[in-house]
Structure 1
Amino acid sequence: MLICLSASHKNSHFDVLEKLSLASAAAAQQITACHSALSGAIVVATCNRFEAYLDLDEPFGVSPMPAIHAAIDALSATSDVAAETLRDTLQLVHGNGVPHHLFAVSSGLESVVVGEGEIAGQVRRSLEQARSDGTTSPELERLFQRASQTSRGVKNQTGLGTAGRSLVRLSLELASSRVSDWAASRVLLLGTGRYAGATLAALRDRGAENVRVYSPSGRAVKFAESHGIAAVVEADLAREAARADLIITCTTADHFVVDAALLGTGRHALGQDAAAADAQPLKLCPIAPSPAPAETTFHQLIIDLGMPRNVDPDVTQLAGVALLDLETIRIHAPLEALNATSEARELVSQAARDFTAVSTEQSLAPAVVALRSHVFDILEAEIERVRSRNEHSAQTEAALRHLVGVLLHTPMLRSRELARSGEHDAYFDGLEALFGLKVERADASGPSARTP
């Protein structure tokens, strides 16, 4: 059975999402180790979403709740969020609801900004990470590969990609009320990961020319060279942060990269630089006292796109600093583009139905194999009996094998029909009633549900 434990901007507080995001790197391995029936786990962690997709290998009729509670307890232990809080917060989706949910997520239909494109790449990278960690499973592989195919189909066949705006572009739209001249603004980009490339492209679309980049992980020089901008080294960070008109953070660091202390240090350093410059003697200048330099006035906007937070909220205690974070951006998210969204949701629903149809057919595979094995065992025994009596001929054997194929044709068709209509039990019951074959039944997928 497929299960999804989901916390997002729709059902969770930002603080909980932040703690879950910090724990995301180790979450899948902790989950698969917490219960023997959990054969796979893939974690999707974005700036507004944390989801654990689980593959539960339990016989039909066995309750999944012990494994689900164990998974929640494992998340609690790794994230330092109380298990009770997680049970009250997490949405539980299971069975047939899981592919529909993931396909909608990967297509941008569940994002803060409906139609944003970054999520598809994040879903793809989550699968790659699970492969690297050894926590994926064949069914989760199929689920996530199908999710990527669906998101590409939505992008290519609907107007959702153009109707929706990315989180980066929405944040810059909100910033426009404070930025009078993008070309004249000094911009500091912190981070070279998730959103850095998209952020730089969006800045250039608005006319920003004076952009610098700093990376806590040391990748600023490489990023700067490949994008034609200047890199900032650690020693100059405080000054550059204080000098910038606009700071945009998008790092995966698990600590604050910008805080009031950093900006205060930078402002103090700039003041010293200005005082030192004024103290330099000027040749051929009239001997007259210079007026004391006026105190520098700072007007800075900081956009924090990091999850967990890259910017300490204490920056707003400094004069002239405004902070635009994910919580604020979420409040201003635009309404859906109704036509494009409707088309996209239909594509997602159809993809989910197709995925489920394949899954349900596969769920009857043990019964089909059992029937074929039973019938062919009888066939081989009859052929051997005929051979022992010297009554065997190639024509007789061919006729018997053809007859068995004809007789099995209808049961094979019925298996697919019954699987797609959800009547699995009828097939299992029929085999037991007619042939005495008792086959272990695979779990029947069900709809989504709320938390346990």
Structure 2
Amino acid sequence: MSVLVVGLSHRSAPVSMLERASVTGDDLTKLLHAINDSAYVAETAIVSTCNRVEVYAVVEKFHGGVSTVSEALSLHSGIPLDDLSRHLYVHYEDRAIQHAFSVACGLESMVVGEGQILGQIRQAFRLAQDEQTIGRTLHDVLQRALRVGKRAHHETGIDQAGASLVSVGLQIATEHLGPLNEVRALVVGAGAMSGLAVATLSRAGAREIVIANRTAGKAERLAAESTVPARAIELADLEAELPTADLVVSCTGATGLVVRAEQLEGTGDRRRFFLDLALPHDIDRAVAGLPGVALAGLDELRTAEEAAHAIGPEAVEAVRTIVCDEVATYLGAARAAAVAPTVVALRSKAAEVVDAELARLTGRLPELDDKARKEISQTVRRVVDKLLHAPTVRVKELAAAPGGDTYADALRELFDLDPKAPEAVQRADIADIEGSDT
């Protein structure tokens, strides 16, 4: 079994395609099971954000796994498989681990170093746990990825060097509106991105922040956290607030438009800025054609990507070094762990041989007293343990290197181990891990 990553992101696909491929809520759960129920896939987790959809899977066969995931993504999005495949990237085995760690560190984000990706990976991990589509391998990979991401942020400060999408978007808004300390802002939605927008606008000293959300409680909590005047409204009252808003930031999970161009017609021609961080789009693209109005969505934020990449080059290089080191450590440990069931099976077989020979000795020499029998038993077991100690320790060390799985094969061949014995040990180990708290 090997780790496979199949996905598309802002680097590989246009925003219009990312919109169609975006998956949330019940659809995300359905896609998770559709992939995991395949004969080629043993484990599945899906990381879905505003600028990436990635399937992490443990597969028995590479081609079968890629086909399964690609076809499931095509069916979900309605994008013909031939069109979708041109924009998909595929990482396998060692490259898949490196990609997972790089994503967790923010190296693959639209704005390098942004910290939200850690929360998004954690959400993917928890959903896979809740839906029981994750096993030992992905459990270890995603948990390690989260630790690597935290280490990168702590040791390099890359999360400080790279701004969030919200920060980049509001910087573009400043270029259009000027300082944000006098703007009246309207934030649509109350999720993580909206929370960041409210916090950023509060620090900037916005004149007022209005938060519109389908669930009043979440909007009210965000309003209460603001350090400038803020109030919450229901999404149904959004249209009444649009005419007086200088800045509109929208990021909801709606499947259709939340702000339409006709809602703004006749509301004046002063400078206004609309920032759309949603997939699919919340704001009608025609808004950009209205007098005095500027609009930025994920497509426009791509233009800020090079500038964001240029921030903190030393930090970025330091993170790449951390990723390389962590990948090497993980792969070494994984290879060593892979040989462990074979070592256990070898020791079990040795113990069975010792038990059989001691039983035979007892039958041939029934006159032996208990003290002598115990001394013989301990001596024989010590001899076997000493003979096996050096080769089993050495095989674990050798297994940590690339190609180390051949040493496990050699052990099975040399000692004529039952091929099913290591598998039985591994299954028991996995059962223990899956039954434990994470």
TM-score higher than 0.5 here? Answer: yes
Indicate if the aligned counterparts of 2:252 and 2:282 stay in contact, CA closer than 8 A: yes
* TM-score normalised to structure 2 length: 0.87
Aligned to 1:154: 152
Indicate if the aligned counterparts of 2:7 and 2:52 stay in contact, CA closer than 8 A: yes
Aligned match for 2:191, one of 178, 190, 193: 193
Q: Secondary structure at the match of 1:52?
A: strand
Distance in 1 between residues matched to 2:7 and 2:360, nearest whole Å: 60
Q: Secondary structure at the match of 1:423?
A: coil
Distance in 1 between residues matched to 2:298 and 2:282, nearest whole Å: 11
Distance in 1 between residues matched to 2:117 and 2:73, nearest whole Å: 22
The structure with the largest alpha-carbon Rg is 1
Distance in 2 between residues matched to 1:431 and 1:186, nearest whole Å: 71
Aligned match for 2:346, one of 371, 375, 378: 371
Deviation at 1:41, TM superposition (A): 1.0
What aligned pairs does 1:104-183 form with structure 2 within 5 A after superposition?
Answer: 104-183=102-181
1:316 aligns with 2:288: yes
Indicate if the aligned counterparts of 1:301 and 1:322 stay in contact, CA closer than 8 A: yes
More helix by share: 2
Aligned to 1:405: 385
Aligned to 2:56: 53
Q: Which runs of 5+ in 2 are unaligned?
A: 424-438
Q: Which letter does structure 2 place at the counterpart of 1:52?
A: V
The CA deviation string for residues 125-171 of structure 1, in whole angstroms up to 9 with x for no partner, is: 11112222222222111111111111111111113122211111111
Aligned to 1:276: none
Aligned to 1:99: 97
Distance in 2 between residues matched to 1:308 and 1:98, nearest whole Å: 27
CA RMSD of superposed structures (Å): 2.0
Indicate if the aligned counterparts of 1:255 and 1:310 stay in contact, CA closer than 8 A: yes
Distance in 2 between residues matched to 1:131 and 1:368, nearest whole Å: 30
Aligned match for 1:28, one of 24, 27, 32: 32
Deviation at 1:82, TM superposition (A): 1.3
Indicate if the aligned counterparts of 1:26 and 1:78 stay in contact, CA closer than 8 A: no
Q: Which letter does structure 2 place at the counterpart of 1:244?
A: A
Could you list the runs of 4 or more consecutive aligned residues of structure 1 that deviate by over 6 angstroms after TM superposition? none
Aligned to 1:208: 206
Aligned to 1:272: none
Indicate if the aligned counterparts of 2:276 and 2:283 stay in contact, CA closer than 8 A: yes
Distance in 1 between residues matched to 2:124 and 2:239, nearest whole Å: 34
Aligned match for 2:373, one of 393, 403, 428: 393
Indicate if the aligned counterparts of 1:117 and 1:161 stay in contact, CA closer than 8 A: yes
The CA deviation string for residues 39-83 of structure 1, in whole angstroms up to 9 with x for no partner, is: 221111111111100012x3xxxx421232022111111111111
Distance in 2 between residues matched to 1:439 and 1:385, nearest whole Å: 27
Identity %: 29
Describe the shift of the 1:235–1:308 C-alpha distance in structure 2 as closer, same or farther (beyond 3 A): closer
Aligned to 1:220: 219
Describe the shift of the 1:362–1:225 C-alpha distance in structure 2 as closer, same or farther (beyond 3 A): same
The CA deviation string for residues 314-360 of structure 1, in whole angstroms up to 9 with x for no partner, is: 21232222111111111112234221111111111111112111211
Q: Which letter does structure 2 place at the counterpart of 1:413?
A: V
Q: Secondary structure at the match of 2:399?
A: helix
Aligned to 2:427: none
Aligned to 1:263: 264
Distance in 2 between residues matched to 1:423 and 1:186, nearest whole Å: 61
Deviation at 1:425, TM superposition (A): 5.3
Aligned to 1:230: 231
Aligned to 1:8: 9
Deviation at 1:430, TM superposition (A): 3.0
Q: Secondary structure at the match of 2:270?
A: coil
Indicate if the aligned counterparts of 1:38 and 1:55 stay in contact, CA closer than 8 A: yes
Distance in 2 between residues matched to 1:355 and 1:332, nearest whole Å: 34
Distance in 2 between residues matched to 1:196 and 1:373, nearest whole Å: 58
1:300 aligns with 2:272: yes
Describe the shift of the 1:432–1:127 C-alpha distance in structure 2 as closer, same or farther (beyond 3 A): closer
Distance in 2 between residues matched to 1:430 and 1:140, nearest whole Å: 27
Describe the shift of the 1:45–1:234 C-alpha distance in structure 2 as closer, same or farther (beyond 3 A): closer
Distance in 2 between residues matched to 1:116 and 1:262, nearest whole Å: 34
Distance in 2 between residues matched to 1:381 and 1:54, nearest whole Å: 44
Q: Secondary structure at the match of 2:180?
A: coil
- Number of matched pairs: 407
* TM-score normalised to structure 1 length: 0.85
Larger RCO (CA within 8 A; separation ≥ 6)? 1
Deviation at 1:180, TM superposition (A): 2.5
Distance in 2 between residues matched to 1:170 and 1:235, nearest whole Å: 29
